[in-house]
Amino acid sequence: MNGWIAECRMGVLLMIEYIPAPKSKTSFSVPEMSKMLGLSKTEAYWLVKKNFFKTIVAAGRIRIMKDSFEEWYANQYTYQKVDGPPPGENLKNKLLSTADIAEILGIAEATASELVAKEQFELIYVYGKRRIVKSSFERWYQSQSFYRTVEDQFKEQIQFGETLTMPQIARLLGVHRNTVYYLVNKGCFEIISTARRKLVTKASFDSWYSGQNHYKKINSDGGEMDGVHCQKKK
């Protein structure tokens, strides 16, 4: 309540009006939320019924706890405040765009787009734009060995020197991966076995390539495997 208090300052008695600080609002009504999000009454009560946020009953009316509402708002993109910050603030570090995946894997964005269309990533749409749930991308990455992140490629290069994967050699020579495995089994390259896959040292690939004329570093169908002579390394 407002009031007046007497206070002595510099020997002078002053009457000062006391106005308490307003209490922080911890909840709001369903109609208030409806107005905040630009929803109809029916849509607002549907959100309440879905238990997206914590509610209480005060004086016979449902009220929505502000902290619970703001947490829900920051973790979704479907609803946006009429006048306020954009939704999904907490999801920014949980979603990836196609461009993000291209950068992570060091591939062209068109290739990343094809990858997203082909693989079973968990997708959501933010303002009409496709986004990949980061955790689903990470699960996919751990389940395969064809693609490597730029970071992992760098780590492997530091650990083993410059290396090539079987898919990389296949793309480099324009041949099927089975052809590369054939060359590996013939002992053509120096192989490094990691916990996840086998790698070919680039030095051994370059040495093999310069000593043969059957394969070319072009986008072709490759050639017959006859005439490829490699001795299996002991």
Alpha carbons 100 and 84: distance in angstroms, whole number: 27
Buried b (16+ CB within 10 A) or exposed e, 53-85: bebeeeeeeebbebeebeebbeeebebeeeeee
- Given a contact cutoff of 8 angstroms between Cβ atoms, the answer to whether 222 and 176 are in contact is yes
- Given a contact cutoff of 8 angstroms between Cβ atoms, the answer to whether 163 and 192 are in contact is yes
* Range scoring the smallest mean pLDDT among 141-150, 163-172, 193-202: 193-202
Cβ-proximal residues to 36 (8 Å cutoff; 6+ apart), any chain:
28, 81, 82, 84
Residue 67 has pLDDT above 90, yes or no: yes
Mean pLDDT of 207-218: 90
Mean pLDDT of 69-88: 91
Mean pLDDT of 2-21: 59
* Range scoring the smallest mean pLDDT among 39-53, 71-85, 103-117, 212-226: 212-226
pLDDT at residue 56, as a whole number: 92
Of 23 and 97, more confident = 97
Most confident of 104-118, 183-197, 207-221: 104-118
Q: For the segment 129-160, what is each residue's pLDDT rounded down to a tens digit?
A: 889 999 999 999 998 877 889 898 888 777 77
pLDDT at residue 13, as a whole number: 61
Q: For the segment 98-125, what is each residue's pLDDT rounded down to a tens digit?
A: 999 999 999 999 999 999 999 889 998 8
pLDDT at residue 221, as a whole number: 44
Alpha carbons 126 and 149: distance in angstroms, whole number: 25
Residue by residue, DSSP assigns 30-43 as HHHHHHHHT--HHH
Residue 96 has pLDDT above 90, yes or no: yes
Sequence letter at residue 111: T
Q: What percent of the chain lies above the pLDDT cut of 90? A: 51
Mean pLDDT of 161-190: 90
Q: Element (H or E) spanning 99, and its range?
A: helix 98-105
pLDDT at residue 144, as a whole number: 86
Burial grade of 189 (CB within 10 A; 0-12, 13-18, 19 or more): buried
* Range scoring the smallest mean pLDDT among 12-26, 65-79, 182-196: 12-26
